[in-house]
Chains A and B, each alone.
Chain A
Amino acid sequence: MARFLTYVAKRVINYAVMIFVATSLTFFLASAFMSPRSNYESRTPRPPQESIEQSLTANNLNDKTPIMERYTTWLKGIVTEFDWGNSPTGTSVNSEISQRIGASVKLMLLSTVLSIVIGVGLGVYTAQRQYQWQDRLWGGVAALFLTVPTVVLAILIVFFAIEINSASGMRIFYVTGLSSYTGDNVLLAFLDFLQHILLPTIVLTIISAVGYHVNQRTYLLDEMHADYVRTARAKGLTKKQAIRKHALRASLIPTSVNVAFSIAGIFTGAVMTEKIFAIHGLGEYFINCINNNDIYGSVAVAAFSGVCTLVGALLADLFAAALDPRIKMS
């Protein structure tokens, strides 16, 4: 146990250093490529020079201050008060992000669960029927969805939803936002939420289920052809038993690694889907930050995604250790 804890601690320290270096790099990159000054200078009427300088300095965004000085101020704020800085307009990045995480989680949670269940299920189903028509059909579907750009997929789904809406004369699907019902009826509010969440969930589920399907199929096929499964068959197990008791288990180890990463992805949201469906989550916030020269906002989103990725990596290590006896032994 002690050895295990030191192993985890080592990992965490390594990841913390990675996050620090990566976030600092992002900070310098953002400072080099974004100019909050232009936000003020492009206003009409143009504010007086002094007031521009003043507001920039107040938010630690003045490019006339040496970059290392801005960097240390920013870093000090994070370390001492966990303050991730201000946007050029002076609003706090912390509050913006905490407001938006909820929407992203709502959006991602359902689709993540669905895509794992559907994708892994399809992978297992098609692997057992390799080269039969079911496998070829689903393989073709997966290849198509892997090839079609996400934007096109989402737009076409929206397009057909609108067509269905106008054909039926009712608003079955909502294509923007997460809710529009304002009454008190809980049931109606939930129905309204479902109508909103359905389309983005379909888009996100298709995108990630395809990946799970293709990977799980490959993993299971690999295991099905391994020696120990043949031994199990030789001992007299049926093909189904051998797969369920032996091959399936081993094939779920690499899948669990992917699952760990997508658990972390729940919190970071989805940039394209949020933009297309006008959901005010973290993905949309990032696009706004980029468009508004919000250096600290973008760096904070990047750092947050980084933390989520590494939490995912750590979870993946733990999952693999828990599931794979070979790792425990070494």
Chain B
Amino acid sequence: MTDKSQNPDLQDPGKLTQETVDHAQRLHEAETGADANWDTMARDDASRDESIEPATVIDGTPVGEGPAGRRPTNAELELESQRLEHTEVKRISYAGLIARRFFRQKSAVAGLTILAVLALLAIFGPMISPYDYTDPDFAALSVAPSAEHWFGTDSGGLDLFACVVHGLGRSLVIGISYALITTVLAAIIGTAIAYARGIWEKIGMWCLDMLLVIPSFLLVAMIVRATSGGTGWLMLIFGLSAFGWIGYARTLRTMALSLRERDYVKAAKYMGVSPFTIIVRHLIPNLGSILIIDTVLGVISGINSETAYSFLGLGIKVPDTSLGYILSQGSSAMLTAPWVVLIPSIVLIVLCVSMQLIGDGLRDAFDPYSRAAGNVEEEAEDATPGPEKLAEHDI
């Protein structure tokens, strides 16, 4: 009965209880017939019983309730399955479960579709574009979008479609690498500081605070201004990542504070497992869902920063181009050629909103209570269904 948690120690018991509950609810809602496709999760009887009561009372989202006014629990579903002579209950992996919950949400699927379209545009756009983003068409300066130039041209005669598609690729690459690098750095350093305890924890926190004293915007600007031409975007990724992880590491350290007290961490420690292995194998995986969500949302802040620096003339410069750079060029001719500003703006907004939709979808997929509770930090500190969930109705 331990199919779900191949590593039982890596799962948070409080969360699992909730998932069982949520799971049963959604199952009932999704599959009204007695289909054999049960993705129930195994629980020992004691914890199942505990989860039943709050499930019937809490009920945060108004979805299909039975005539009795309450949802069947996991146990009841399994009983029903047996009654209908399905001898076996199918179970799915954790990742499969998350994927299922993710794809059940229309907005998340929409976000993923938009992102896929944008990514395809960034990859194949340069191939289908008749012009290159570096060679200007002097016969057509500042022309409006037409069949010849799909997005029009800027005042220098550069084809805007080619520029936007190239800039979109740059934004995606910078945003994604920034998010991945900062998440890895922040996860390792944040949990390491929490795990170190004592004087090392104090020193680590002091260093983080000290690095946060100077706004990182200023420090990043100093590094990336030295960039030049073609390889500028690599330098921009480096600069952004070098100072982007600090505040995030601080948050993750707070979250790791409760994890370090867990029995499995102690057990590993006294079995002689090295601190680094404990951090990588036991602490970080337990922040997994938060890390995945924040990586997706981190892409937005990466794109945001890239746009800001390039707009200020500090990030990506000619001969390379990016959405922020196009915006800065277009902002000087807003009256005569508004499309130079509007098109990259729309692309940026669509890109960021799609990432946000995916992030929200993942958040709801990972934690069924997130819709009710608010932001991620809060849930990490409070994984058990606390009194506030029950109190929702009586205030």
Flag the segment in B10-18, B28-36, B182-190, B338-346 that touches A: B338-346
Check if A257 is an interface residue, CB within 8 A of chain B. Answer: no
B281 → A minimal CB distance (Å):
33
Contact A29 to B308, CB < 8 A, known contacts A22-B210, A158-B331, A225-B388: no
Bound together, the chains give a CA A167 to CA B394 distance in angstroms of 53
Contact (Cβ within 8 A) B392 A225: yes
Flag the segment in B84-92, B126-134, B222-230 that touches A: B222-230
Chain B residues lying within 8 Å of A239, measured Cβ to Cβ, are 395
Task: Give the total of B residues in contact with A, Cβ under 8 Å.
Answer: 50
Flag the segment in B96-104, B152-160, B311-319 that touches A: B311-319
Check if A286 is an interface residue, CB within 8 A of chain B. Answer: yes
Contact (Cβ within 8 A) B394 A155: no
Chain B residues lying within 8 Å of A218, measured Cβ to Cβ, are 374-375, 378
Bound together, the chains give a CA A242 to CA B353 distance in angstroms of 37
Which residues of A (225-253) have their CB < 8 Å from a CB of B? 225-227, 229-230, 233, 239, 242
Contact (Cβ within 8 A) B395 A233: yes
Contact (Cβ within 8 A) A148 B222: no
Mask, B362-381, CB within 8 Å of A = 1, is 00000000000011001000
Contact (Cβ within 8 A) A162 B312: no
Chain B residues lying within 8 Å of A85, measured Cβ to Cβ, are none
Chain B residues lying within 8 Å of A33, measured Cβ to Cβ, are 222-223, 225-226
Helix, strand, loop or mixed for chain B's interface?
helix
Contact (Cβ within 8 A) B334 A310: no
Contact (Cβ within 8 A) A149 B352: yes
Contact (Cβ within 8 A) B213 A309: yes
Select from chain A the residue with minimum beta-carbon distance to B303. A149
Check if B49 is an interface residue, CB within 8 A of chain A. Answer: no
Contact (Cβ within 8 A) A149 B304: yes
Contact (Cβ within 8 A) A290 B225: yes
Select from chain A the residue with minimum beta-carbon distance to B314. A290
B5 → A minimal CB distance (Å):
30
Bound together, the chains give a CA A222 to CA B210 distance in angstroms of 31
Which residues of A (160-202) have their CB < 8 Å from a CB of B? 162, 166
Chain A residues lying within 8 Å of B95, measured Cβ to Cβ, are none
Select from chain A the residue with minimum beta-carbon distance to B206. A18
Check if A111 is an interface residue, CB within 8 A of chain B. Answer: no
Q: Which of B214, B342, B395 is in CB contact (< 8 Å) with A22?
A: B214
Contact (Cβ within 8 A) B313 A155: no
Select from chain A the residue with minimum beta-carbon distance to B356. A147
Bound together, the chains give a CA A310 to CA B117 distance in angstroms of 45
Chain A residues lying within 8 Å of B355, measured Cβ to Cβ, are 147
A291 → B minimal CB distance (Å):
7
Flag the segment in A57-65, A271-279, A320-328 that touches B: A271-279
Contact (Cβ within 8 A) A305 B218: yes
Contact (Cβ within 8 A) B307 A149: yes
Chain A residues lying within 8 Å of B223, measured Cβ to Cβ, are 29, 33
Bound together, the chains give a CA A149 to CA B306 distance in angstroms of 10
Contact (Cβ within 8 A) B222 A301: no
Check if A120 is an interface residue, CB within 8 A of chain B. Answer: no
Chain B residues lying within 8 Å of A290, measured Cβ to Cβ, are 221-222, 225, 314
B353 → A minimal CB distance (Å):
6
Bound together, the chains give a CA A214 to CA B335 distance in angstroms of 35
Chain B residues lying within 8 Å of A230, measured Cβ to Cβ, are 391, 394-395
Bound together, the chains give a CA A268 to CA B213 distance in angstroms of 13
Contact (Cβ within 8 A) B349 A159: no
Bound together, the chains give a CA A148 to CA B304 distance in angstroms of 8
Bound together, the chains give a CA A218 to CA B370 distance in angstroms of 12
Q: Which of B218, B335, B349, B389 is in CB contact (< 8 Å) with A286?
A: B218
Select from chain B the residue with minimum beta-carbon distance to A215. B375
Bound together, the chains give a CA A146 to CA B307 distance in angstroms of 15
Bound together, the chains give a CA A147 to CA B299 distance in angstroms of 11
Chain B residues lying within 8 Å of A287, measured Cβ to Cβ, are 221, 312-314
Bound together, the chains give a CA A150 to CA B314 distance in angstroms of 16
Check if B324 is an interface residue, CB within 8 A of chain A. Answer: yes
Check if A258 is an interface residue, CB within 8 A of chain B. Answer: no
Chain B residues lying within 8 Å of A217, measured Cβ to Cβ, are 374
Select from chain A the residue with minimum beta-carbon distance to B371. A131
Select from chain A the residue with minimum beta-carbon distance to B62. A131
Chain A residues lying within 8 Å of B375, measured Cβ to Cβ, are 214, 218
Contact (Cβ within 8 A) B395 A305: no
Check if A114 is an interface residue, CB within 8 A of chain B. Answer: no
Contact A26 to B214, CB < 8 A, known contacts A225-B391, A225-B395: yes
Check if A122 is an interface residue, CB within 8 A of chain B. Answer: no
Chain A residues lying within 8 Å of B67, measured Cβ to Cβ, are none
Bound together, the chains give a CA A310 to CA B214 distance in angstroms of 10
Contact A302 to B374, CB < 8 A, known contacts A29-B223, A143-B356: no
A57 → B minimal CB distance (Å):
23
Check if A8 is an interface residue, CB within 8 A of chain B. Answer: no
Bound together, the chains give a CA A95 to CA B72 distance in angstroms of 73
Contact (Cβ within 8 A) B213 A276: no
Contact (Cβ within 8 A) A310 B213: yes
Contact A298 to B222, CB < 8 A, known contacts A162-B334, A166-B335, A309-B213: yes
Contact (Cβ within 8 A) B219 A305: no
Chain B residues lying within 8 Å of A155, measured Cβ to Cβ, are 327, 331, 334, 341, 345
Chain A residues lying within 8 Å of B314, measured Cβ to Cβ, are 287, 290-291
Which residues of B (215-273) have their CB < 8 Å from a CB of A? 215, 217-219, 221-223, 225-226
Contact (Cβ within 8 A) A34 B214: no
Contact A221 to B374, CB < 8 A, known contacts A18-B213, A33-B226, A230-B395: yes
Check if B300 is an interface residue, CB within 8 A of chain A. Answer: yes
B272 → A minimal CB distance (Å):
37
Q: Which of B300, B312, B327 is in CB contact (< 8 Å) with A271?
A: B312
Contact A19 to B213, CB < 8 A, known contacts A166-B335, A271-B312: yes
Chain B residues lying within 8 Å of A291, measured Cβ to Cβ, are 225, 313-314
A236 → B minimal CB distance (Å):
14
Check if A97 is an interface residue, CB within 8 A of chain B. Answer: no
Which residues of A (15-51) have their CB < 8 Å from a CB of B? 18-19, 21-23, 25-26, 29-30, 33-34
* Pairs across A and B, CB under 8 Å, 12 listed: A18-B206, A22-B211, A23-B214, A26-B219, A155-B345, A217-B374, A225-B391, A229-B395, A275-B312, A290-B225, A291-B314, A302-B215
The 7 closest A-B pairs by CB, nearest first: A225-B388, A306-B213, A22-B213, A225-B391, A147-B352, A149-B304, A218-B374
